Amino acid sequence: MEITKSELKLINALETSHGRKKNNAFLVEGPKMVDELLNAPFKTKLVAATEEWIQNNPKHLSLPGLRLISPNELQKYSQFSSANQVLAVAEFPEPGPFNAHPTEFILVLDTIQDPGNLGTIIRTADWFGISKILCSNETADAFNPKVVQASMGSVFRVSIYYENLETIFKEFAGKVHIYGSLLHGENIHQMNLKKQGFLVIGNESKGISDGVKKLVTNKITIPQAPQSKTESLNAAVATGILLSHFGL
């Protein structure tokens, strides 16, 4: 069955945050990413594919939402410079209310705004086996197409929550370590880091917000070489370095 005008309209709407929230859905593009999606516990509403993709994926012929789309039509809605063979529409997951056990290790993102950074951080968290990421309400949309693409499928495996960080941290006060990545903290090479609690990564330019910073129990930093002149590390790079030191 060929794709309909109303389905094309839906795809177009999902390029914006408002459209994603209104339709409770997001876009996934490219053969690898769509394959990851179809193997994840997500409900897929629509798969718009070229004839080439359909012929190469006979196992998906019975998908109820499978639609044929021409390469030229797909290009109009693609996020890539040259269109891929397939694009899917999936419903938002329902992770439920946030909860955590004191023995868990949870990555916390305080107003990360660059989609590429966020996607890379999600991918990095997945690499280290982190199953939950807690985001401030001001953090970028994890289901922005650019974030989904940068995560390379990890967004389908990591539960992502958006909450008021100060409220959450006050609930856990005195129960767990709240590590905060700061320019002026204790050298991570000289610390005995615990594989439990929260690790907070701050905004790309402003760092951790003042309210959250007051609730951090352990201020940590990645030491800078004496001859280095750079002001800071990229948030995603810093996340990877820090996670590797927790021995996850």
pLDDT in tens, the chain (248 residues): 899 999 999 999 999 999 999 999 999 999 999 999 999 999 999 999 999 999 999 999 999 899 999 999 999 888 776 668 999 999 999 878 899 998 999 999 999 999 999 999 999 999 999 999 999 999 999 999 999 999 999 999 999 999 999 999 999 999 999 999 998 899 999 998 888 999 999 999 999 999 999 999 999 999 999 999 888 899 999 999 999 999 76
Q: At what angle do helices 115-127 and 235-245 cross, to 10 degrees?
A: 20
Instruction: Give ranges for CATH 3.30.1330.30 in the chain.
Output: 5-91
Please tell me the CATH code under which domain 105-245 is placed: 3.40.1280.10
In this prediction, residue 81 carries a pLDDT of: 67
Note the residue count of the chain: 248
Structure-block tokens of residue 97: 């209310």
Instruction: Give ranges for CATH 3.40.1280.10 in the chain.
Output: 105-245
In this prediction, residue 133 carries a pLDDT of: 98
In this prediction, residue 35 carries a pLDDT of: 94
**140 neighbors 111 (Cβ within 8 angstroms):** no
- Write down the pTM of the prediction: 0.93
- The CATH class of 5-91 is alpha beta
For the chain, give the longest Cα–Cα distance.
63
In this prediction, residue 162 carries a pLDDT of: 96
